[in-house]
Amino acid sequence: MKRTVSACVLAVLCLAAPLSGQTFSVALLEDSGGPEAPDLSDALLGGCLDHLFAAGFIATNETIGRIGRADFQSSVLGLKSAREGYVDYVALVWIRYADTPSDPPVRFPESLAWRLMRVRDGSALAEGSEKPERFDSGTVEERRERLSQLGKTLAAVWARTLRKERG
């Protein structure tokens, strides 16, 4: 009888304690004017999510979309779906791919821009852009690994920014 009461009390305490964690969504957007590269974008997104999970975030992603660079500047981009999904933070990543002039052509990321936003009030916490290292050669798997590492690097910047914000 004592064990049953103890088990019931423990169960009630566990159910009563609110579960909380920082929820994070990553929305990767490819340039609508350039070539598509869903396999490379998946690798970049996977690297982001891997690092966010390891840093203790509850992370998810949006379906990879296509959008022009000018539309990426919108301050409300990605906020509606993040709010509907009860997400605390959203990172928007815009990437443009290009093809090398070689035969066969090799697709590579030509430029990348990102913005980290607090969903609650829509404020931008950090943003950046870069020209990723160009890779003209290597197997598809090697190129995917490079982009996965780039995704981990981006997510590390976001995690550091959020640690500073939380104090």
Tens of pLDDT along 116-157? 999 999 899 999 998 888 777 778 899 899 999 999 999 999
8 A C-beta contact, residue 99 and residue 111: no
Q: What pLDDT digit, counting tens, does each position of 73-95 carry?
A: 877 777 777 767 789 999 999 99
pLDDT, the chain, mean: 84
| 77, two tokens | 């981009």
pLDDT-above-70 percentage for the chain: 85
| 74, two tokens | 């919108």
Which amino acid type is present at position 91? A
Scan for tokens 């981009």, then name that residue: 77
CATH topology of domain 21-166: Rossmann fold (3.40.50)
Rounded Cα distance between 118 and 164, Å, is 13
**Phi, psi (deg, nearest 5) at residue 10:** -60, -45
Rounded Cα distance between 157 and 52, Å, is 10
Domains of the chain, by residue range, sit at 21-166
Instruction: Look up residue 30 and give its DSSP letter.
Output: E
